[in-house]
Amino acid sequence: MADAERTPGFNTLAVHAGAKPDPTTGARATPIYQTTSFVFDDVEHAASLFGLQAFGNIYTRIGNPTCAVLEERVAALEGGTAGLAVASGHAAQLIVMQTLLMPGDEFIASKKLYGGSINQFNNAFKSFGWNVVWADPDDIGSFERAVSPKTKAVFIESIANPGGVITDIEAVAAIARKAGVPLIVDNTLATPYLCKPIDFGADIVVHSLTKFLGGHGNSIGGMIVDAGSFNWSRDKKYPMLCEPRTEYSGIVLHETFGNFSFAIACRVLGLRDLGPALSPFNAFLIATGIETLPLRMQRHSDNALAVAQWLAGHPQVAWVSYPGLPGDKYHALAQKYVPKGCGAVMTVGLKGGYDAGVKLVSNVKLFSHLANIGDTKSLIIHPASTTHKQLTDAQKTQAGAGPDVVRLSIGIEDKDDIIADLELGLK
Amino acid sequence: MNHDSYPDSYIRGILNTVKTIAMVGFSPNTSRPSYFVFKYFLERGTRVIPVNPGHAGKEILGQKVYSRLADIPEPIDMVDIFRASEFVPGVVQEALALKPLPQVIWMQLEIRNDEAAAMAEAAGIKVVMNRCPKIEYGRLSSEISWMGINSRTLSSKRGQILPGGVQRMGLGNAGDKKSD
């Protein structure tokens, strides 16, 4: 097999990408480089590293070999040129936007997003002068109408949390391309196992690694993946990438680092200055989790479809929003974007409204009542009283989190046990 | 040679054999990509000869700058071109007049001229276009993986640490498989 020019499959990449045996010790598992700093070979080497003229490690806020394994692995799985691991999914979004936007600029975002992202965009980002303009994924034309000379990016989720909305990535990518701005896709719910947004025109992919990539509910983390597809110099709209950086003696990042310059900019400008670095220990746990991503995502999706079918026939259930169901509004888009399955997350409308939601989360014994998704364990939450509580009623309903709605993240337990627990809870 | 996609073995073979590089279009400005590549290969013990008529006769990091390829008084293994694509045929013609001929003509990122490449290949010279040798060396040695870059290589073998420091990797590992 030596030097065979085969292209490895997804399962192989999930296990191997980024993780060669440690060059100094031969350790086969990825070592946890639990250190803040790295000694330089000599003064000249230090100068080369600080000047970005050599590849290497300086300080864990900017890079760490354990985090680098995770970065390369996710980049490989997404089909990107490079990755940058950060402290959380929110930190990933912060660094991406800080690299693209100046105060007074705008970005267009789908209004069907994770409630935490809606908060971040409406509050923290507005306070930085980065102005979100909302568009409706059910009306693709609303993205085009939102474009202005100040637009610097478009942001969508591949599968929206929690409403089960599948966004027509290719259609939005075409609008972003026409506007000359990058398309950012949050691929947290789908993971690259179910959907690879770069294949459909995404220029940047972001993740909350906390969810299915880590997969075991033990570590918070975020990831930025550079698709390598965007020409940052063409319209001179992105000064972080196309203008000389005085802090690095005048180098132009796009000219110097080519098709992975966005990831480098996020690291050597954004992460360096803003500081939300990922702990190497978290990187180790998440990278280990990813080794079984293909197995887990298929089981999550298969279990979720069985649960959705069962719930759809239950007398106390008003509706089930899960794109895997043949009658679902997003079923056709699901066939195109997530053909292997629609992931673990669904929302359920209970005929008994708010009180029925409270009763269900109180009565279940296998499902855990908590504010997360993407654990091996089945999870349940009533978004109106928790994750989406800070939104207005109109925003709650818009985001698919009205008072009658319960969100489920189906785990990888036996599906009969999961269904039996819901049956108990609905009695 | 298919110049849209090079096998890793082709690039590895070139970077493993080349000992002397002439850099045409070299800039002594320390923030320019050519300077990065120059410094990187010098630090790896490669002989790198800068070529730029505007700076001929100067010494940069101890290396004498020449005006043109023909002025270099020693054999060259590889000509690395940092000039826009339209200037490449002239550089290739100069390279074809060298005795002995260089083994490799390399054009940097965004630089590609298929006619000039065909001319060089007809003379038995290997050609690489629209690539950076520093990035390729970093990718195939795994050094670039420290920056979270997708090296598109997998291996169950340890990488090679170069003498002179732990943060320098070599190309000694031939067990890599292509990924991506």
Residue-wise pLDDT for A174-204, tens only, equals 999 999 999 999 999 999 999 999 999 999 9
In chain A, the percentage of residues whose pLDDT exceeds 90 is 85
A3: in domain: no
When scoring B147, B152, B169, B179 by the number of chain A Cβ atoms within 10 A, the one with the most, hence best to mutate, is B147
pLDDT digits over B52-88, tens only?
999 999 999 999 999 999 999 999 999 999 999 999 9
Average pLDDT over residues A324-333: 96
Task: Answer yes or no: is A244 within a domain.
Answer: yes
The rounded distance, in Å, linking the Cα atoms of A5 and A231 is 29
Q: What are the tens digits of pLDDT across the range A357-385?
A: 989 999 999 999 998 999 999 999 988 87
A68 occurs within a structural domain: yes
Select from B158, B167, B178 the Cβ nearest to the Cβ of A45: B167
Q: Are residues A278 and A323 in the same domain?
A: no
Residue A403: its pLDDT value, please?
86
* Residue A376 · residue A214 · CB < 8 Å: no
Do residues A14 and A290 touch, judged by C-beta distance below 8 A? yes
C-alpha angle A116-A117-A121 in degrees, rounded to nearest 5: 120
Confidence of residue B160 (pLDDT cuts 50, 70, 90): confident
**What does the pLDDT read at residue B84?**
97
Q: How many residues does chain B have?
A: 180
Interface residue A85 vs chain B (CB under 8 A): yes
Domains identified in chain B and CATH numbers = 8-132 (3.40.50.720), 136-178 (no CATH)
Q: In total, how many domains does chain A have?
A: 2
pLDDT band at B51 (very low <50, low <70, confident <90, very high): very high
Task: Report chain B residues whose CB lies below 8 A from the CB of A40.
Answer: 167
Instruction: Answer yes or no: is A4 within a domain.
Output: no
Q: What average pLDDT does range A262-273 have in this prediction? A: 97
**Residue A3 pLDDT > 70, yes or no?**
no
* B150 contacts A20? CB cut-off 8 A: no
CB B156 within 8 Å of CB B142: no
Structural domain boundaries enclosing A359: 293-426
Query: If you search the block for the tokens 């947290």, which residue do you land on?
Result: A188
- Residue A205 belongs to a domain: yes
Per the domain annotation, does A157 fall within a domain? yes
Residues A354 and A366 in one domain: yes
Comparing CA positions, the residue from B147, B152, B144, B149 lying closest to residue B169 is: B144
Please name the residue of chain B whose CA is at the shortest distance from the CA of residue A71.
B148
Cβ neighbours of A65 in B, within 8 Å: 146
Question: Where are the strands (E) in A343-411, listed by range?
Answer: 345-350, 368-369, 379-381, 405-409
Instruction: Choose one of A238, A258, A289: the last residue of a domain.
Output: A289
Q: What is the arithmetic mean of pLDDT over A307-318?
A: 98
Interface residue A37 vs chain B (CB under 8 A): no
Let me know whether A84 and A126 are in one domain: yes
* Judgement on whether residues A112 and A258 belong to the same structural domain of the protein: yes
Place A4 in a pLDDT band, splitting at 50, 70 and 90.
low
The domain that contains A121 carries what CATH number?
A: 3.40.640.10
A86 has pLDDT over 90: yes
Contact A56 B167 (CB under 8 A): yes
d(CA B54, CA B25): 10
What is the helix (H) or strand (E) element at residue B154, kind and residue range?
A: strand B153-154
Residues A40 and A154 in one domain: yes
Task: Give yes or no: residues A190 and A63 share one domain.
Answer: yes
- pLDDT at position A118: 93
| CATH number of the domain bearing residue A354 | 3.90.1150.10
Chain B touched by A88 (CB under 8 Å) = no
> How close does chain B come to A68, measured CA to CA in Å?
5
Judge whether residue B166 has pLDDT over 80: no
Helix axes A293-312, A415-426, angle to 10 degrees: 40
Pair of tokens at residue B138:
């970093």
- Domain-terminating residue out of A289, A323, A354: A289
- A96 domain-assigned: yes
Q: Is residue A1 part of a domain?
A: no
Categorize the per-residue pLDDT at A1 as very low, low, confident or very high, splitting at 50, 70 and 90: very low
Residue A312 and residue A254 share a domain:
no
Quick one: tokens of B107? 């054009």
Instruction: Tell me if B159 and A244 make a contact (CB, 8 A cut-off).
Output: no
Residues A214 and A228 reside in one and the same domain: yes
* Residue A301 and residue A285 share a domain: no
Same domain, A268 and A318: no
Using the beta-carbon criterion (under 8 Å), do A48 and B109 form an inter-chain contact?
A: no
Based on the domain organization, do A237 and A93 belong to the same domain? yes
What tens digit of pLDDT does each residue of B66-75 get?
999 999 999 9
Pick from B29, B149, B168: which is nearest to A72 by CB? B149
A to B CB pairs, distance under 8 Å? 154
Q: Based on the domain organization, do A351 and A381 belong to the same domain?
A: yes
The domain boundary, picked from A254, A289, A324, lies at A289
- DSSP for B108-128, written as a single string: -TT---HHHHHHHHHTT-EEE
Residues A17-68: pLDDT tens digits? 999 999 889 999 999 999 999 999 888 888 888 888 889 999 999 999 999 9
